[in-house]
Amino acid sequence: MWLEILAVIFNLRTLNAAIRMSTPIALAAMGGAFSERAGVINIGLEGMLLVGAFAGAVGSYATGSALLGTLLGVAAGAATAAVFSIFTVEFRANHVVAGVGINILALGLTTWLMQVVWRTRGISPAVARVQSIRIPLISDIPVIGQVIGVQSPFVFVMIALIVGGWVLLFRTPLGLRIRMTGEHPEAADTLGINVRFIKHFSVILGGALCGFGGAYLSIGNIGRFSMGMSAGRGFMGLAANIFGQWNPIGGLGASMLFSYADAVQIRLQTMEIALPHQIIQMIPYLLTIVILAGGVVKSRPPAALGNHYRSGGGT
């Protein structure tokens, strides 16, 4: 049995699956990174993923085009985030409460609307989906070809987005402004940075990323929407973001680690190896608690995370 487990762990197809499965989690993690770097705690990632998945499927169903579906998913994720940012930034709603509200609202709206659209509460009919692509030269290279040679286009776009997000956050003036807003909004304001704009921008960008990740879930892979299909991936993204130190690339690394454990677990389950799979599924959450408690590396969230800021200090 141990040989079989090792064979699964060091299998390139497991790695291929892990990269694919990390897509929505890494995108949610980056959404969380932008939001939290600008000082807004974002528990609503889960709901934004779910809305993206639903809108992606509806768009694809209505237009027959998976590309248009994906765009609608991105737009819907951004719109959900816009509601969240208006309430948290303009109306100074408690970030955590508003985030919980977004999650419940997203679950209710998507479950309700799927019955309005498809007359079913469970799983939608098949809709147009984005097919996997084979990269001509890379797919012929041994090892690398097996890992990323044939993948969903979402995976490649995700990797590009993560790299782009990292550049934006750490190598551009806008990124510096975002980070400054989350660390010290008063100082940012003094320097003429529009703190409110930066917060809205970061949260909505995060929502668009979640929308894209959600669209992957519904039309990037199986081509259907199912009730509550985000299934905790937003919370996993939240964990990956912390694990990855509020850095998109770190978040991707953490997401791949989590997904790898998950992929191994799923493959072992199909081989009917009686490993306690719930215990393997717990690992990401346990690791995040250990990290947060300062057990492995010291992690420090942005200093003004969760605070409300109003220019001039009045209320």
Partner 1 sequence: MTQKADSTILPTGARSRPTTSSEKVRAALTELGFSAFAIFLALVISALLMVILGYNVALAYQSMFRGAFGSLHGFSQTLLRATPLLFTGFAVAIAFRAGLFNIGAEGQLYWGALACALVALTVEGMPKPIAIGLPLLAAGLAGFLWGAIPGILKAKTGAHEVITSIMLNSIAIFATTHITSRYFKAPGAVDQTERIVAAAVMPQIIPGTGLTAGILLGIAVAALVAWFFGHTALGYDFQAVGRNADAAEYGGVSSKRIQVLAMGFGGIMAGVAGGIVVLSLLNRFVANFSPGYGFTGIAVAVLGRGNPWGVVLAALLFGALDSGGMSMQLFARIPSDLTIVVQGLVIILVAAPAALRAMVRWRKPKVEPVDVA
Binding site for partner 1 (CB under 8 A): 41, 43, 83, 87-88, 90-98, 100-109, 111-112, 115-116, 121, 232, 235, 238-239, 242, 276, 278-279, 281-282, 285-286, 288-289, 292-294, 301, 303-308
Nearer to partner 1, 2 or 91 (CB): 91
Residues of 90-120 as b/e, b for ≥16 C-beta within 10 angstroms? eeebebeebbebbbebbbeebeeebeebbee
CB of 66 to partner 1, least distance (A): 25
The DSSP symbol for 42 reads: -
Q: How many contiguous H segments (helices) and E segments (strands) does the chain have?
A: 13, 2
Nearer to partner 1, 89 or 161 (CB): 89
Nearer to partner 1, 220 or 302 (CB): 302
Nearer to partner 1, 86 or 138 (CB): 86
Using alpha carbons, select from 79, 27, 30, 23 the residue that is nearest to residue 178: 30
Nearer to partner 1, 64 or 228 (CB): 228
Nearer to partner 1, 147 or 236 (CB): 236
CB of 145 to partner 1, least distance (A): 35
Indicate the angle between helix axes 277-292 and 233-243, nearest 10 degrees. 40
CB of 264 to partner 1, least distance (A): 16
For residue 255, CA distances in Å to 57, 249, 300 come to: 24, 10, 19
Q: What is the rounded distance in angstroms from the CA atom of residue 4 to the CA atom of residue 294? A: 35
CB of 254 to partner 1, least distance (A): 13
CB of 101 to partner 1, least distance (A): 3
Nearer to partner 1, 151 or 255 (CB): 255
Quote the tokens at residue 271.
């081989």
3-state SS assignment for residue 228: coil
CB of 111 to partner 1, least distance (A): 4
CB of 102 to partner 1, least distance (A): 7
Q: What is the rounded distance in angstroms from the CA atom of residue 219 to the CA atom of residue 248? A: 24
CB of 109 to partner 1, least distance (A): 5
Environment class of 137 (CB within 10 Å of its CB; exposed 0-12, middle 13-18, buried 19+)? exposed
The DSSP symbol for 134 reads: E
For residue 313, CA distances in Å to 303, 308, 310 come to: 17, 10, 6
Nearer to partner 1, 11 or 281 (CB): 281
Q: Which helix (H) or strand (E) holds 12?
A: helix 12-37
Nearer to partner 1, 90 or 186 (CB): 90
**DSSP secondary structure of 142-165:** TTHIIIIIEE-HHHHHHHHHHHHH
CB of 267 to partner 1, least distance (A): 18
